[in-house]
Amino acid sequence: MSQTPSDSAQTSNKTKHKAWWVLGALAVLSILMAGLTSVTYRQTEVHLIEMYTYFKDLGSNGTAEKCIDEVIQWVPKCDGMKALCEGAVPRIMDSCLAGQNRASECAALTNRPADAHFGFKECEVRKLSRSLNKVCGNSYKALDLHCRAIGYLPASVEKYAK
């Protein structure tokens, strides 16, 4: 049995009609996902602003190690998008470290290596998961950058700074 031209046109119209339904459904789904992502992003932003204040207060009383410990404990409990929380670690650490003068703590760290291995041993001892090990490393990197910013260079960099 062969198809007549009118049967072929009806099949083609049905296919086009289904395609529009599929495209419409995808558009609605995309809009819903964008709305949900926007709300989640905003909640994360509000949470991070609260955490900057909390860590600044914590830093005014605690040591740099206390800041690192608290940041490592905070990240898994972060009430927001995981990537944004992990990305905020350097800023959270900077907020905590800025809570008080860290000159004496940084002076004690002048023998630290000037490469990416600073904090490696300290993080290894903590036996953290892979993602928290990254948070730990980023926390020590933030400490290193803070110490450099206030003039305490690692010993191996000082010889090149002159």
Cβ pair 39, 79 in contact under 8 A: no
Does residue 43 have a pLDDT over 90?
no
Q: Model confidence at 71, in pLDDT bands (50, 70, 90)? A: very high
pLDDT at 67: 93
Backbone torsions φ then ψ of 102, nearest 5 degrees = -105, 20
Pairwise CA distance, residues 10 & 4, whole Å: 10
Mean pLDDT, the chain, whole residue set:
83
Percent of the chain residues topping a pLDDT of 70: 83
More confident residue, 97 or 25: 97
pLDDT at 56: 92
Number of Cα atoms under 13 Å in the Cβ half of residue 153: 8
Break the chain down into helix, strand, coil percent, rounded to 5.
75, 0, 25
> Lowest-confidence range among 95-104, 107-116, 121-130?
107-116
pLDDT one-digit tens code per residue, 3-37: 555 555 556 666 667 878 888 888 888 888 888 87
Band of the pLDDT at 41, cuts 50, 70, 90?
A: confident
Residue 74 pLDDT: 93
Q: In the chain, where are the structural domains located?
A: 7-161
Task: Name the nearest CA neighbour of 141 among 105, 115, 108.
Answer: 115
The number of helix segments (H) and strand segments (E) in the chain equals 8, 0
The predicted pLDDT at position 110 comes to 76
Residue 144: closest CA among 110, 101, 99, 121? 110
